[in-house]
Amino acid sequence: MKKILVLYYSRTGNTEKMAKAVAEGTQINDNIEVELNFHVELEELSTFDAIIVGAPTYYHEMPVDFKRLFEEVAAQGISLKGKIGATFGSYGWSGEAPKNILEIMKNKFEMFVVEPPLLVNYVPDQKMLSACRDLGKRISESLMNRT
């Protein structure tokens, strides 16, 4: 069974709505187990085949919890090499967080990333929630095709 983590942070609820839609989209068959969470233990990260991170942008930055998480993954030498990665998030005026996280996944952790990140200005409407479900579906399909 393949495992996907949808990890998110949301202060206003906008990125949480997106995360739920992404998780819905990942559930394309019974061979995929999806975990939707706002926290993950470092040791658990290596058990996932795909990691999708939902990060809003606050003051041009990613949430500090994610920054610490990635610093700890690097410091402890946890390998994410070859895993599928993707990002999404809401923003008010700049939207850097998902882009920066995707760059870290690709360049620091040598993950296979799905580009570009999915960005939503403020509140996701039905069209954007559909795009979130499509992102989840693409990740699941990519994972299933990697056998």
Rounded Cα gap, residues 146 and 132, in angstroms: 22
Q: What is the pLDDT of residue 79?
A: 96
pLDDT at 31 over 70: yes
Mean pLDDT for 26-45 is 94
Q: pLDDT tens, 11-23?
A: 999 999 999 999 9
DSSP string covering 75-137: HTT---TT-EEEEEEEESS--HHHHHHHHIIIIIS--EE-SSPEEEESS--HHHHHHHHHHHH
Split at pLDDT 50, 70, 90, the class of 115 is very high
Domain of 79: which CATH number? 3.40.50.360
Domains held by the chain: number: 1
Question: Is residue 144 predicted with pLDDT exceeding 70?
Answer: yes
Residue-wise pLDDT for 45-94, tens only, equals 999 999 999 999 988 899 999 999 999 999 999 999 999 999 999 998 88
pTM of the model: 0.96
